């Protein structure tokens, strides 16, 4: 049907040929000029009108589809115009035979170009938010789709030029064993990435820690996971390594622990020590930014240089900066309680006792 349309368009323009080669050249120029003008009309009027209508719909997906194919459609106008204008010229038969596979290859390329643009992970963010799909899963599968688009387009273009794709694939199958042996690490990383996606131990933006790296996940590819460390260095860790290591996801803590021993001097009276313990516990229970379920404040033990008060509680936030701010606020409030009770914080010390009286006199 496409060939019949092209022949009819070319035949219609050739009605207005004058005579000889110049008439055919003028016809070809008119055809190309018309498609060039149609391209400008499509870009400035038709495309903008359709884009304005799609932006009024409830979903953004139709707008993203239109934007993904904008570049290919604009270029396709020029290719079709050039193709039809060349058909109007008195070329040799072998040249005409080459035009169709070139045109078909370019057409396949433009379609693949549009689908490649459409499979950008940013275009699926609306679906990701609506159905609570993990962003790292969307990123991984959009990369898979892009690879499939490129492979499928390449196979179709090769078939257009008459090559035997089945024989080529059979040759790949014969060399598949050698390729698999050479790409064991790559295959392990790909399957490691699939296992990570299935288990979903972390998402993009999570703070994770393994035996080899600690930081924030920025991206996951077929081969590796990119982690931004707290020193702001970007570390690429193979997926097989992360899949086989114990992993701690600190972002999913829900609350963050603070625990330590507070040592006061041995000269502290029992009543004051008891009052400090009760006031610190009351302060923590009434603090608006601490988790109320687990709060322990107890006089724990007699250490070598201090009477130790054990503190164990959690902040409601897991953000590191907020966690440090809350911890600082708690420490200042504890210092205020100790000052009001006139209790001193102990420091490591040692008392030495001599059985015999020391003499400081020197012989004359």
64-78, 145-159, 279-293, 330-344: segment of lowest average pLDDT: 64-78
What is residue 117's predicted lDDT score, i.e. its pLDDT? 86
Using pLDDT thresholds of 50, 70 and 90, give the confidence band for residue 275.
very high
| pLDDT (mean) for 282-291 | 94
Strand partners, 209: 214, 248
For residues 334-353, one letter each, b for 16 or more C-beta atoms within 10 angstroms of the residue's C-beta and e for the rest, the string is beebbeebebeebeeeeeee
220-224, 291-295, 330-334: segment of lowest average pLDDT: 220-224
Using pLDDT thresholds of 50, 70 and 90, give the confidence band for residue 15.
very low
Instruction: Please determine, for residue 276, whether its predicted confidence score (pLDDT) is greater than 80.
Output: yes
- Going through the chain in order, the beta strands assigned E by DSSP cover 207-209, 214-220, 224-229, 234-238, 248-249, 256-264, 296-302, 307-315
Question: Model pTM greater than 0.85?
Answer: no
What is residue 190's predicted lDDT score, i.e. its pLDDT? 76
What is residue 182's predicted lDDT score, i.e. its pLDDT? 55
pLDDT averaged over the chain?
79
Q: 213 with 252: CB under 8 angstroms?
A: no
Using pLDDT thresholds of 50, 70 and 90, give the confidence band for residue 286.
very high
Instruction: Please determine, for residue 148, whether its predicted confidence score (pLDDT) is greater than 60.
Output: yes
| pLDDT (mean) for 161-172 | 64
What is residue 173's predicted lDDT score, i.e. its pLDDT? 55
Instruction: Please determine, for residue 306, whether its predicted confidence score (pLDDT) is greater than 60.
Output: yes
pLDDT in tens, 219-247: 887 788 899 998 899 999 998 888 888 89
pLDDT in tens, 76-116: 888 888 777 777 676 655 656 677 788 788 888 888 988 88
Using pLDDT thresholds of 50, 70 and 90, give the confidence band for residue 274.
very high
| pLDDT (mean) for 52-74 | 76
Q: 150 with 116: CB under 8 angstroms?
A: yes
Instruction: Please determine, for residue 309, whether its predicted confidence score (pLDDT) is greater than 90.
Output: yes
As given in the structure block, the two tokens for residue 203 are: 């998402």
What percent of the chain has pLDDT above 70? 77
Cβ neighbourhood burial of 300 (10 Å; 0-12, 13-18, 19+): middle
Q: From CA 116, how far away is CA 302, in angstroms rounded?
A: 69
Q: 307 with 273: CB under 8 angstroms?
A: yes
What is residue 2's predicted lDDT score, i.e. its pLDDT? 45
């Amino acid at each position: 049907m496409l060939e019949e349309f092209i022949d009819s368009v070319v035949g219609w323009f050739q009605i207005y040929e004058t005579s000889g080669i110049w008439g055919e050249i003028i016809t070809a120029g008119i055809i190309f000029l018309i498609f060039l003008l149609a391209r400008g009309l499509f870009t400035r009027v038709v495309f903008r009108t359709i884009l304005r209508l799609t932006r009024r719909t409830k979903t953004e997906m139709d707008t993203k589809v239109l934007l993904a194919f904008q570049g290919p459609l604009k270029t396709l106008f020029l290719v079709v115009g050039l193709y039809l204008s060349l058909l109007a010229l008195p070329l040799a038969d072998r040249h005409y035979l080459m035009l169709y596979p070139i045109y078909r290859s370019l057409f396949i390329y433009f379609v693949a170009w549009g689908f490649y643009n459409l499979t950008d992970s940013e275009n699926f963010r609306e679906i990701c938010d609506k159905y609570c799909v993990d962003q790292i899963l969307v990123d991984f599968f959009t990369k898979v789709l892009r690879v499939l688009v490129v492979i499928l387009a390449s196979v179709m273009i090769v078939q257009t030029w008459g090559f035997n794709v089945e024989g080529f694939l059979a040759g790949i199958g014969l060399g598949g064993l050698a390729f698999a042996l050479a790409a064991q690490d790559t295959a392990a990383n790909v399957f490691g990435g699939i296992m990570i996606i299935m288990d979903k131990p972390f998402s993009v933006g999570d703070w994770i820690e393994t035996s080899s790296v600690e930081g924030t996940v920025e991206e996951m590819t077929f081969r590796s996971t990119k982690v931004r460390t707290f020193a702001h260095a970007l570390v690429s860790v193979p997926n097989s390594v992360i899949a086989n290591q114990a992993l701690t996801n600190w972002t999913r803590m829900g609350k963050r622990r603070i625990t330590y021993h507070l040592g006061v001097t041995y000269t502290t009276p029992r009543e004051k020590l008891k009052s400090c313990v009760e006031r610190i516990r009351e302060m923590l229970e009434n603090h608006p930014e601490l988790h109320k379920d687990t709060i322990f404040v107890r006089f724990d033990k007699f250490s070598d240089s201090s009477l130790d008060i054990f503190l164990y509680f959690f902040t409601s936030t897991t953000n590191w900066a907020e966690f440090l701010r809350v911890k600082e606020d708690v420490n200042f409030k504890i210092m205020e309680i100790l000052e009001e009770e006139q209790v001193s914080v102990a420091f490591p010390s040692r008392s030495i006792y001599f059985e015999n009286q020391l003499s400081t006199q020197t012989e004359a």
